[in-house]
Amino acid sequence: MALTPFATAVQLQAYWRPLTASETSRANIMLTLASNRLRVIAEDVSINLDTKKDASEAYASTLQWVTMEAVKRALQTPTDQPPVETWAQTAGPYSENYKYTNPSGDLWFKKTELSALGIYGSQSLSSILSTNEAIYS
């Protein structure tokens, strides 16, 4: 069963900017990857994102936004030149400085984005008491 991405390339273009044909192709792949990565993260804390998305329009919108933000960050990394945000060059005595932007073009999520979905910082604690342990109230 194929899982549907939480956002489409058309939605990403409306949200961000027009995409070239090659960017659209890359965006479609990344939107699927980002959506599935979010599903796996949520499963680790026993949350089914598809169920929550279907139950709440606000949650669905937030899920779409988080997915598009991650893909937008990855698409901002150029594929035809070095992934540099700023570059400074000095003539003497020779100096170059680069500030890289997501150098490998990774898909990643900010803590605040995961928190907005309720899947960051969730921890669970469980224990099993043996019949010989005393239980105090």
Q: How far is CA 6 from CA 1, 10, 71, 97, 106, in A?
A: 16, 12, 11, 38, 18
Please compute the mean of the pLDDT values over residues 95-112 and round it to a whole number: 75
Spans of all domains in the chain: 9-116
Residue with the bigger pLDDT between 37 and 122: it is 37
Q: What is the pLDDT of residues 10-69, one digit of tens each?
A: 999 999 999 999 999 999 999 999 999 999 999 999 999 999 999 999 999 999 999 999
Q: What is the pLDDT of residues 61-103, one digit of tens each?
A: 999 999 999 999 999 876 655 556 666 777 788 877 766 555 5
Give Cα 23 to chain centroid, integer Å. Answer: 17
